[in-house]
């Protein structure tokens, strides 16, 4: 019920009906008052005219009584006349005149007209036959033919005026009802015509509130409602345009934030996270209770200082650097907040440690051969060693250490060149058997010295042509066979097997040595990384050979993998794509 009353149609209809009703009531009251006043004035004029006529008759008539009798004949309608003094007292037989005479005698103004000679007219209410009636009474002074002062009281029943007013009121009421009916129809028509576009506006506005900004209002009028429709449609278009811009900006922002190598974290003044990406979520998820306390302390310090605060965290064997900066307004509510940039420093820490280990390793590797070179050379130069056989032995040691230094320098140069230029390869079509045969020749003597068995062959495809850089692949196999020789013991086997699949050439370098622990398998191809020296026979490498090997294989667009089991051996599997 209240919803209907709050409708614009009902309100507009009630307003129009109220206005029309008010106008009709005021107009009817004015009209009835005017008609009543008009008829009263006409009645008074008629009474005055009749009084003048009677006065003239009385003044000119020599027979007073006859004049009085003739006076009543001059009256028309509901009029009556009393002329005082009247010697016949004819009015005593008429109850209406009797009641009227009684009223005249009680009224001071009417009773004294004979003395004052002033005209008096009044509305008189008297009871006749137990019914109260209203009259218009006129007291008119006159003088008869003999000079005697008299008063003519002439009156008229006002029932005719009341009846007329009643008829007029009924006519006005019927007219008002007709007007109200017509007005109601017109009001509903007008309100519907006005409110139908408003209903459309309401429905479209509700759709816009739900996020459907492509809504349009179709209003053909050229009035204010039409202008409002044009403005509404333009507003919807602008909102849609702004929403699209905001959505695009948000998508770009989210994409940039999620693609950043650093973690991003936005925190408002209530310590609520309002923005984050995957790296930041991962760091927060890995935090222990102690880490969370330190992180909250950094947040509080940043809000307190309103400056940039830097902290480093070690979480689950990972290193993070967190830089927090204060922002005066981070949300639309104009509240302050902060933004944290999180950088995963694990690789940097690992690289730094590897560099330290590398420097220490290189220093050790250089110190040993340099010391040997210096010592044996000084022994020969100073003549301490004079026997030809001893000199020859010392020179062999010097040569071996020189080769060791050369290999170390070459590996360092290769890594530097890879970092600067990448790996340059020149592929050619050659059988893999040539390289395998060369490797067998190269390591036959070393295998005899170390009591190792070499199993270098190409399974059934010795004449198959491979696409590869011969010199680079020789470097790869040299690194892998050298590593295998250091991690084997007398009686073990080092094997190179080549085969093919429909899409790849596969080269496997396998040994039956001590194997590699599982915790080292994921890191053996990293630069400067070396497995436990206690498991190595002879001199330990620099930790660069497998890194260089991986880079060469990737330059061939191939892959290298390692499988190992402690105590049973290690296998490196190289896969090169065909015809690439």
pLDDT digits (tens, 9 = 90+) for 383-392: 777 778 878 8
Q: What are phi and psi of 384, to 5 degrees?
A: -65, -40
Asked whether the predicted pLDDT for residue 91 surpasses 50, the reply is yes
Distance CA 273, CA 251 (A): 19
Q: What is the mean pLDDT of residues 238-265?
A: 74
3-state secondary structure of 84: strand
Environment class of 3 (CB within 10 Å of its CB; exposed 0-12, middle 13-18, buried 19+): exposed
Q: What is the pLDDT of residues 458-497, one digit of tens each?
A: 555 445 688 888 888 888 888 888 888 888 888 888 999 8
Asked whether the predicted pLDDT for residue 301 surpasses 80, the reply is yes
Identify the band that residue 426 occupies on the pLDDT scale cut at 50, 70 and 90: confident
Q: What is the mean pLDDT of residues 356-368?
A: 70
The CA-to-CA distance between both ends of the chain, in Å, stands at 83
Distance CA 251, CA 233 (A): 27
Task: Decide: pTM greater than 0.85.
Answer: no
Identify the band that residue 540 occupies on the pLDDT scale cut at 50, 70 and 90: low
Cα dihedral 565, 568, 570, 576, rounded to 10, equals -100
Identify the band that residue 535 occupies on the pLDDT scale cut at 50, 70 and 90: very low
Asked whether the predicted pLDDT for residue 499 surpasses 80, the reply is yes
Question: 260-344 maps to which CATH number?
Answer: 3.30.450.20
Identify the band that residue 310 occupies on the pLDDT scale cut at 50, 70 and 90: confident
Q: What is the mean pLDDT of residues 278-288?
A: 79
**Share above pLDDT 70 across residues of the chain, in percent, rounded to a whole number:** 82
CATH 3.40.640.10 fits 423-577, yes or no: no
Q: What are phi and psi of 355, to 5 degrees?
A: -65, -40
pLDDT of residue 88: 58
Question: 11-166 maps to which CATH number?
Answer: 3.30.450
pLDDT of residue 1: 46
Identify the band that residue 571 occupies on the pLDDT scale cut at 50, 70 and 90: very high
pLDDT of residue 93: 64
Identify the band that residue 214 occupies on the pLDDT scale cut at 50, 70 and 90: low
Identify the band that residue 574 occupies on the pLDDT scale cut at 50, 70 and 90: very high
Asked whether the predicted pLDDT for residue 290 surpasses 80, the reply is yes
pLDDT of residue 526: 78
Identify the band that residue 89 occupies on the pLDDT scale cut at 50, 70 and 90: low
pLDDT of residue 110: 80
Task: Please report where in the chains the tokens 């020749």 appear, as a residue.
Answer: 441
151-165 b/e (C-beta count within 10 Å ≥ 16 → b): bbbbbbbbeebeebb
pLDDT of residue 561: 92
Q: What is the mean pLDDT of residues 88-95?
A: 61
Distance CA 177, CA 181 (A): 6
Q: What is the mean pLDDT of residues 416-433?
A: 79
pLDDT of residue 482: 85
Q: Decide: 124 and 153 in contact? Cβ < 8 Å.
A: no
Asked whether the predicted pLDDT for residue 239 surpasses 80, the reply is no
Asked whether the predicted pLDDT for residue 453 surpasses 60, the reply is yes
Mean pLDDT, the chain, rounded, equals: 77
Instruction: Report the DSSP beta bridge partners of residue 222.
Output: none
Cα 272 to chain centroid distance, Å, stands at 18
Distance CA 291, CA 466 (A): 55
Identify the band that residue 440 occupies on the pLDDT scale cut at 50, 70 and 90: confident
pLDDT of residue 572: 92
Q: What is the mean pLDDT of residues 184-201?
A: 71
pLDDT of residue 54: 78
Asked whether the predicted pLDDT for residue 565 surpasses 80, the reply is yes
Identify the band that residue 9 occupies on the pLDDT scale cut at 50, 70 and 90: low
Asked whether the predicted pLDDT for residue 181 surpasses 50, the reply is yes
Q: Decide: 280 and 340 in contact? Cβ < 8 Å.
A: yes
Asked whether the predicted pLDDT for residue 532 surpasses 60, the reply is no
**Which residue, 183, 173, 167, is CA-closest to 27?**
173
Q: What is the mean pLDDT of residues 308-324?
A: 83
Reported residue count of the chain is 580
Asked whether the predicted pLDDT for residue 154 surpasses 80, the reply is yes
**DSSP-derived pairing of the beta strands 337-344 and 428-431:** unpaired
Distance CA 250, CA 39 (A): 85
**Which residue, 572, 547, 546, 549, is CA-closest to 561?**
572
> Which tokens is 574 given?
């190289």
pLDDT of residue 15: 79
Q: Decide: 470 and 430 in contact? Cβ < 8 Å.
A: yes
């Amino acid at each position: 019920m209240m919803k209907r009353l709050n409708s614009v149609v009902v309100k507009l209809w009630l307003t129009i009906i109220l206005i029309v009703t008010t106008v009709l009531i005021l107009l009817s009251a004015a009209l009835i008052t005017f008609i009543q006043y008009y008829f009263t004035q006409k009645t008074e004029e008629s009474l005055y005219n009749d009084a003048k006529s009677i006065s003239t008759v009385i003044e000119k008539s020599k027979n007073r009584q006859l004049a009085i009798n003739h006076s009543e004949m001059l009256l028309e309608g509901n009029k009556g006349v009393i002329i005082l003094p009247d010697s016949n007292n004819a009015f005593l037989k008429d109850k209406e005149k009797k009641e009227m005479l009684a009223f005249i005698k009680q009224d001071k103004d009417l009773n004294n007209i004979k003395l004052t000679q002033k005209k008096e007219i009044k509305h008189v209410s008297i009871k006749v036959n137990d019914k109260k009636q209203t009259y218009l009474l006129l007291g008119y002074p006159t003088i008869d033919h003999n000079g005697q002062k008299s008063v003519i009281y002439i009156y008229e029943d006002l029932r005719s005026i009341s009846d007329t007013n009643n008829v007029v009121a009924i006519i006005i009421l019927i007219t008002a009802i007709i007007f109200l009916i017509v007005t109601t129809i017109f009001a509903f028509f007008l309100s519907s015509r006005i409110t139908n576009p408003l209903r459309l506006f309401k429905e479209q506005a509700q759709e816009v509130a739900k996020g459907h900004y492509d809504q349009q209002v179709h209003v053909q009028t050229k009035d204010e409602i039409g202008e409002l429709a044009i403005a509404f449609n333009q507003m919807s278009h602008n909102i849609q345009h702004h929403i699209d811009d905001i959505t695009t900006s948000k998508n770009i922002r989210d994409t940039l934030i999620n693609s950043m190598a650093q973690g991003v974290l936005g925190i408002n003044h209530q310590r609520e996270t309002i923005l984050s990406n995957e790296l930041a979520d991962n760091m927060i998820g890995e935090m222990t209770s102690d880490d969370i306390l330190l992180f909250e302390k950094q947040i509080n310090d940043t809000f307190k200082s309103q400056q940039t605060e830097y902290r480093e965290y070690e979480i689950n064997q990972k290193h993070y650097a967190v830089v927090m900066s204060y922002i005066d307004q981070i949300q639309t509510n104009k509240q302050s907040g902060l933004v944290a940039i999180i950088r995963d420093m694990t690789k940097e820490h690992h690289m730094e440690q590897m560099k330290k280990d590398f420097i220490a390793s290189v220093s050790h590797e250089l110190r040993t051969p340099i010391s040997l070179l210096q010592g044996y050379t000084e022994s020969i130069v100073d003549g301490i060693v004079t026997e030809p056989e001893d000199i020859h032995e010392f020179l062999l040691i010097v040569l071996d250490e020189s080769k060791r230094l050369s290999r170390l320098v070459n590996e360092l140069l290769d890594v530097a060149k890879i970092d600067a230029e990448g790996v340059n390869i020149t592929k050619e079509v050659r059988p893999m058997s040539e390289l395998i045969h060369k490797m067998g020749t190269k390591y036959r003597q070393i295998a005899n010295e170390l009591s190792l068995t070499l199993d270098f062959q190409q399974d059934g495809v010795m004449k198959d042509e491979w696409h590869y850089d011969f010199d680079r692949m020789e470097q790869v196999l040299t690194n892998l066979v050298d590593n295998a020789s250091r991690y084997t013991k007398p009686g073990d086997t080092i094997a190179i097997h080549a085969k093919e699949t429909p899409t790849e050439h596969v080269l496997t370098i396998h040994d039956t040595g001590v194997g590699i622990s599982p915790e080292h398998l994921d890191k053996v191809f990293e630069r400067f990384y070396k497995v436990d020296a206690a498991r190595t026979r002879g001199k330990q490498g620099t930790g660069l050979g497998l890194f260089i090997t991986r880079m060469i294989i990737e330059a061939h667009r191939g892959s290298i993998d390692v499988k190992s089991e402690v105590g049973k051996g290690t296998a490196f599997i190289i896969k090169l794509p065909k015809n690439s």
